[in-house]
Structure 1
Amino acid sequence: MRFNEEKYINLILYILFRCSNKPNLGKTVLCTVMYFIDFNYYERYNRFLTKETYIKSKRGIKPKHFRKITEDLISKKQLFMRKEPYYNRTIHKYYPTVIPTQKFSPDELMVINSCIERLTDSNASTITKYAWQDKPLSKAGMNDEIDYEDVFLRANE
């Protein structure tokens, strides 16, 4: 399976539609939530949701297609980004300008909603620390792709 751009776009818009009112939901939190959605879905169903490539970086998790996709959505006026103060930092907040078309199966929605409910109240520091403890991320080398197969190491913790 190749990267599923349509599902990826729908996932971004769905998360933002549900959570854009949360003051902590900047780029770091959004990208980390997307990582957990993709990897938890793969762990549970042994199938890819978006098949996004996630890279381990010094700041946490960097989705390969995120920048291009969000820039495209902004240029199409389906999304806008604004830098906003959040305590002593500035975060990149994204706001959907369209209602997402919900093209998710019940299984997909179960994982997506579970991750949204569990993780989107975290700030960037907290969610990044949490993610660093996740086996796939901790096993990956710096600036390397995070291997989906490593989700199966979680059970051995």
Structure 2
Amino acid sequence: MDFDKDKFKNVLYFIIYKCGFRNTVGRTVIHKLLYFSDFNYYKEFNQSITNESYIKKERGPMPIHFEMAIENWLRKIR
């Protein structure tokens, strides 16, 4: 399956909405929440929510399309 840009953005925006603007929630936490959302959904239903690919980083997995989605979100709220 191909990467689903709209679903990825919706999951990202939902996580941001639920976390609010807390001092303890930064990019690394959001990366992990996206990863575990996909991972747990895959574990339950044998398919990914977004079909996103993740790269290994020092502090945990990072979604490849994260920066693109954040830039779109920032344009919307400005």
TM-score (norm 1): 0.46
Compared CA separation, residues 71 and 23, structure 1 to 2 (3 A): same
Q: Distance in 2 between matches of 1:14 and 1:62?
A: 17
Tell me the equivalent position of 1:5.
Answer: 5
Q: Is residue 15 of structure 1 aligned with residue 15 of structure 2?
A: yes
Q: Distance in 1 between matches of 2:23 and 2:58?
A: 24
**Any residues of structure 2 matched to 1:90-105 within 5 Å, and which?**
none
Greater strand proportion: 1
* SS of aligned partner of 2:3: coil
Q: Structure 1: which 5+ residue stretches go unaligned?
A: 81-157
Q: Return the letter of the residue paired with 2:74.
A: I
Q: Distance in 2 between matches of 1:24 and 1:40?
A: 23
**TM-aligned CA deviation for residue 68 of structure 1:** 1.3
**TM-aligned CA deviation for residue 59 of structure 1:** 2.8
- After TM superposition, what 4+ stretches of structure 1 lie above 2 angstroms from structure 2? none
Tell me the equivalent position of 2:74.
Answer: 74
* SS of aligned partner of 1:41: helix
Q: Considering only aligned residues, what root-mean-square deviation do their CA atoms show, in Å?
A: 1.4
Write out per-residue CA displacement over residues 60-104 of structure 1, whole angstroms, 9 at most, x where no aligned residue. Answer: 2111000111112222x24x7xxxxxxxxxxxxxxxxxxxxxxxx
Tell me the equivalent position of 1:45.
Answer: 45
Q: Distance in 2 between matches of 1:19 and 1:59?
A: 19
Q: Which has the larger radius of gyration?
A: 1
**TM-aligned CA deviation for residue 26 of structure 1:** 0.6
Moved more, 55-64 or 28-37: 55-64
Write out per-residue CA displacement over residues 94-137 of structure 1, whole angstroms, 9 at most, x where no aligned residue. Answer: xxxxxxxxxxxxxxxxxxxxxxxxxxxxxxxxxxxxxxxxxxxx
Aligned length in residues: 78
Tell me the equivalent position of 2:25.
Answer: 25
Q: Structure 2: which 5+ residue stretches go unaligned?
A: none
Greater helix proportion: 2
